[in-house]
Structure 1
Amino acid sequence: MAVEFRPKRIRTVSVVSAVFLVVVFSVVGWLLTDTPTGVIFRTSDQVAMVVLGVLLASGVLLLARPRVRADETGVEVRNVVTVRRFEWSDVLHVSFPDGASWARLELPDDEYVSIMAIQAVDRDHAVAAVRALRELHRAATG
């Protein structure tokens, strides 16, 4: 049995924010013209504003990237920029500490890896994800 979880609320927020940024920077770029103060905006300045909006939107969309995949052999955690795979034998347990923003994998030597795909704001979805991961961990480690 393989499972995959992604955050729900942050994906919606990041997509809406990215669209908003592109629209705002496009409108600002379109409105850049000669001003009565003598400042001259060229076409390249207008294009640069739109490109800046697209770059900022791309950065915001990175927040929608987290994912966790797990199967009988291990778990793969993809956070904003990193992807790591762990065998279940390397994982002590899956936890979601009180007050934490996201779940985490507890590793030996007091180390842990945050699972940004399982976020507290997703409530029931987060509970189901943690339970599924714990079940897979329990089945794999006995």
Structure 2
Amino acid sequence: MSDLVDLPVTFRPGRTRVILHALGAVSFVVITVIALVLDTMNPGERISFVFTAALFWGVLGLLARPKVVADVDGVTVVNVARSRRLAWAEIVQVNLRPGDPWVFLNLTDGTSLAAMGIQPGIAKQSAIRDAKALRALTEARTTLPG
């Protein structure tokens, strides 16, 4: 089990997070500067520009939120709008097929859960490595002795 990592471990799309937060910060600064520099704007318009810039950064922050946290008791999947806690025994399979936007977890109840914290978009090799590590952890934690 060369893919087995120490627990707890957090998997997240690092490059994507950096890009989204940087884009949010730059957009906020540019829009705020424009709002302050333009002489034709009244204070209410300036405030609405800054509020819109902050809202845009907030949306990008939500898109940067996904992660998968594995600990000794199970896995917490944090996606854009929702989080779900799973016991190791609930995970049947960890899938990252070619063309998938992120990892999917097949669960014992017959459903599948998107784990957006491992996504091959910008860093494909990193996502493959993380998916293999999560798969190895799942197999090690759900294999019954004997």
* Same fold flag (TM > 0.5): yes
Q: Residue type of the partner of 2:128?
A: V
CA RMSD of aligned residues (A): 1.5
Matches within 5 A, 1:49-64: 49-64=49-64
- Other-structure match for 1:22: 28
Which of structure 1's runs of 4+ aligned residues deviate more than 2 A?
31-34
| Shift of residue 97, structure 1, vs aligned partner | 1.9
TM-score (norm 1): 0.87
Query: 1:73 deviation in Å?
Result: 2.5
Quick one: percent identity of the two aligned structures? 32
**How many pairs were matched up?**
136
Mapped pair 1:130 → 2:120:
no
Which residue of structure 1 lines up, in the alignment, with residue 3 of structure 2? none
The higher radius of gyration belongs to 1
- Structure 2 partner of 1:44: 44
In terms of mean alpha carbon deviation, does 83-92 or 105-114 score higher?
A: 105-114
**What residue ranges of structure 1 are gaps of 5+ in the alignment?**
35-40
Query: Contact (CA 8 Å) 1:29, 1:46: kept in 2 or not?
Result: yes
In the alignment, structure 2 segments of 5+ residues that lack a partner are 1-6
TM-score using structure 2 length: 0.84
SS in 1 for 2:68: strand
* Alignment partners' CA distance in 2, 1:128 and 1:71: 18
